[in-house]
Amino acid sequence: MVKKYTFFLTVSGIIAALDQATKALVMQHIPQFGSLTVIPDFFSITHVYNPGGAFGFMARNDSPLRHWLFLAAALFALCMIFYFYHRTPSANPFFGLALAMIFGGAVGNLIDRMRFGEVVDFLDVYLGTFHWPTFNVADSAVTVGVGIFIYHIVTKKVPI
């Protein structure tokens, strides 16, 4: 049983640490709104802040409640993810990996919200005039984790 939680905390910790380390590098080397082209017309590292949720949800809402709403939602989500992990049999390691990825990503972005009141984003993907919302390592981990989570639920590999 201890091994199960060690795995969860290790994966979550690595993701949160990698997220915070990459954000620190971006904040240290690229001024806010500055951009470094990596692959022309496709990918840049662009230093921006997102006061909203995923894909800029509520970013233009200046209500002071927005900050507390996002903090409360993140804490609730972390509790639910840990609850699901606790109930997940050890025989489903990929489902556990998905939950650990989501948890680690949520922690990474929660740290930003607590420190800055918004989230540091920097991965900027675009093609012509199509521009994907800028994201970060935590967002990537959450997205991949949710994909694995959905796959396991749809294929009924995990009873929930």
**Catalytic pick among 19, 112, 121, 124:** 121
**Catalytic pick among 19, 112, 124, 139:** 139
Tens of pLDDT, residue by residue, the chain (160 residues): 788 899 999 999 999 999 999 999 999 999 999 999 999 999 999 999 998 665 555 555 566 777 788 888 899 999 999 999 998 888 788 999 999 999 999 999 999 999 998 999 999 999 988 999 999 999 999 999 999 999 988 987 665 5
Active site residue 62: no
- What is the amino acid identity at position 118? E
Active site residue 139: yes
- Please tell me the pTM assigned to this model: 0.88
Q: Which residue has the tokens 């091994």?
A: 3
Sheet holding 43-50, edge to edge: 35-39, 43-50, 119-127, 130-131
